[in-house]
Structure 1
């Protein structure tokens, strides 16, 4: 016998399948369908591991696990749950569970976890983490459950995390969740988008500068590393960072010390690094445009965010979640029926969750009745987002950019700077106009951090108050 397992599961079909799989691998299995039965077995027998469901016939299986662990500290616990939310994963982690499996789970993976648990007898003695309320991470799909499990594994340590995923998949939300739920939650969370900062300014942005370090440096400036001291520094779009800045970033990560531009003194910083990119860094490493040693320094714990097309089952829950957010921000409360959800599920969503959220807000604004029907969705989506549409959003943007270049011309190698300068201010003004000057909502529409928006509004001399009566 490889070990004696207590399985607490009130679904007889699942209990039968899991028991058979474990017995085939040489384990002895005792089953119970309730908390009372669990406690009775634990009072008279010793078990090498326990598998328990969350929702049982007589209560919540997680609630009493603190007492179980106190009386059986060497027994690993594996939690099974159909309540597939981030909060459930956090609660499972808080109990010191060896592993957490959302239902439906891979049976072979579960068996491997039992083998590992009984082999290494791993226990976790970390203090509790309070689950955040209202975290905008929604998803019951298998892909998102994997993301939730990875988040719980990095909350109580300072391992560097690299978040990978297409634009609009929620990389900053994941970074924020890791910070807000982790042991650095009382410290600052500072986000910086490497793609939005001109190459010649990024080192000053990250490390700060001394007065007179360069033309225009009329005062000393504190960089993002120092601002994030004691907390988390989120480096978004790390793949767009210039080579020189990559070198200095690597040195800072290796030593835990930075030097302001134009300064002589090294400054110690205590910062957790979370990086993110929507680019495949491997070809960039091969081409020499991204440092391989920096990649390995950042890629300690990779978290891959799935595109929305790979988590279609989440679209209904996400859409309803965004309708509630819209209502909280003053838009009318709307509902979606099954036909409307099915229509949303058929869309390509090239902009992923961000595009879905923007669409849902438009639906809440434009719908004539409380129940949003497929006719309203068709009108809001338009030909550009229909499955059989002939024009994509990418095509529309390319046409607009071509028209602008035809008027203004194009200096060689300056396309990015020219485009950004031409589109950024009117884009921000449009977002503020659409949200009646609400900066939080405007940042969400743009898909950027609200602190970044506020800073750019000051730099672009845009007063959000003048849009407060736009509607």
Structure 2
């Protein structure tokens, strides 16, 4: 029992959800008062009842999100958890902007909800979240998969801060969309959003592009040049493909992040860096650090809040929603209105999408323009994908790293755990799965010579022998 007699106010027009929450919270020691109407919930709050509110968004008499700021005004100490089946990015952002403690998409995991309740009741009081102006239901990010819901909640929390963010993900996963969402719904939305792609700027010009230059600083500098840091003053500077930044520029950027100011190339007067930094890369920066290509201290300055965008192949349940969204955007831009057959949707879900969401959007625009039928069938999808296949290699992501491969493999164990299946001795199992092929291949490369194999592995020979016994690995020559 963890509730210690505290009272939770629950508002949801779905009787089954009220019953489930009442039972689950009751088993944890909480008192629960449940209602199907916003007006009853408001009356309880006005009367001073409850230690925490859990409310749905859509209710018969009022939108639950509209209640949040009203509750915050009369009882700022009362935490509000918002849950909704309308699990979009805008729902998460609005919940955060209006002062909700947490947003949970339906269907939710009861263990997660109970953990949120515990955190909400234990969390110290903070000032109310800054309220933004009412936003329309435009969707900068699309998807209802668990991975995207996690991203929505992270972005929503970050809109009330100026923390530095590092966005990672393959090309085409929407890194700039996330950066723009952080800006457009954040504290600095009134300022400029300035993006610079490190991979597109010649190495010798990057420092001038970032920090500006004084007249005469170099050949051709006939006038003073304003850099991106100055252009983004009061707003957000998005450093795309940060992994391609040359070492000398990395050193200058680190100094800016440490000291909060910079000087233009050829200048002496310090300029205050009044920007929020968001960086992005498709590279594995930890591997770049090991290779000496990226500064470790700069990485930790930029990686304050990491956001990993999953490739489309890891969230195939979002493909139908994304495809329809892209068809709607194509129609809004003047292309003919189209819809997808169910067979076409299933064919889209079987594709590997090396170009991720960008590849899917291009395909939908192409089909909207060229498909003669109003309903796009599986044959049209098949034909377009087959024609595009030879070009896919040019835009394919970089080869998967060992870390990425292991992470992908481990998701199956995590999914099994979430479904309640027994997962035991995972640490030892994973180590064995990595060590076994490593030792086999190294021994093969050294033709079974354990002294050379130990040197190659950086192990003591006795340690190598012990591991071979533990893993029941014979020394076989000539394999691999």
TM-score tier by shorter-chain length is: 0.7 to 0.9
Which of residues 349, 352, 372 is equivalent to 1:348? 352
- Correspondence list, 1:258-277, <5 A: 258-277=262-281
Equivalent in the alignment of 2:205: 201
Equivalent in the alignment of 1:38: 41
Equivalent in the alignment of 2:171: 167
| Number of residue pairs aligned between Structure 1 and Structure 2 | 393
Equivalent in the alignment of 1:362: 366
Equivalent in the alignment of 2:465: none
Residue 274 of structure 2 aligns to a residue whose secondary structure is coil
Question: Is 1:288 aligned with 2:292?
Answer: yes
Distance in 2 of aligned mates of 1:206 and 1:185? 21
Question: Is 1:393 aligned with 2:397?
Answer: no
Structure 2, unpaired ranges of 5+: 398-480
Distance in 1 of aligned mates of 2:290 and 2:29? 47
Residue 63 of structure 1 aligns to a residue whose secondary structure is helix
Shift of 1:272: 0.8
Question: Is 1:331 aligned with 2:331?
Answer: no
Shift of 1:132: 5.5
Equivalent in the alignment of 1:82: 85
8 Å CA contact 1:76, 1:122 repeated in 2: no
Equivalent in the alignment of 1:184: 188
Question: Is 1:24 aligned with 2:5?
Answer: no
Shift of 1:396: 9.0
CA-to-aligned-CA distance 1:70-118 (integer Å, 9 cap, x gap)? 2222110000111011111122112211111111222212111111111
Distance in 1 of aligned mates of 2:108 and 2:37? 21
Shift of 1:308: 0.9
Shift of 1:273: 0.5
Structure 1, unpaired ranges of 5+: 386-390, 399-471
8 Å CA contact 1:98, 1:124 repeated in 2: no
Equivalent in the alignment of 1:279: 283
Equivalent in the alignment of 2:155: 151
Equivalent in the alignment of 2:412: none
Equivalent in the alignment of 2:118: 115
8 Å CA contact 2:53, 2:81 repeated in 1: yes
After TM superposition, the score normalised by the length of structure 2 is 0.78
Shift of 1:2: 4.6
Shift of 1:397: 8.5
Residue 19 of structure 2 aligns to a residue whose secondary structure is helix
Distance in 1 of aligned mates of 2:314 and 2:166? 20
Flag the 1:320–1:397 CA change in 2: closer, same or farther, 3 A. closer
Equivalent in the alignment of 1:91: 94
Question: Is 1:311 aligned with 2:315?
Answer: yes
Distance in 1 of aligned mates of 2:369 and 2:50? 57
- Correspondence list, 1:210-225, <5 A: 210-225=214-229
Equivalent in the alignment of 2:53: 50
User: Which has the larger Rg?
Assistant: 2
CA-to-aligned-CA distance 1:157-183 (integer Å, 9 cap, x gap)? 211111111110101011111111112
Residue 178 of structure 2 aligns to a residue whose secondary structure is helix
CA-to-aligned-CA distance 1:260-314 (integer Å, 9 cap, x gap)? 1122222112111011111111122222221111111111111111111122121
Flag the 1:250–1:184 CA change in 2: closer, same or farther, 3 A. same
Moved more, 14-23 or 217-226: 14-23
Residue 364 of structure 1 aligns to a residue whose secondary structure is helix
8 Å CA contact 2:355, 2:392 repeated in 1: no
Distance in 1 of aligned mates of 2:225 and 2:388? 45
Equivalent in the alignment of 1:15: 18
Distance in 2 of aligned mates of 1:134 and 1:153? 19
Distance in 1 of aligned mates of 2:277 and 2:141? 21
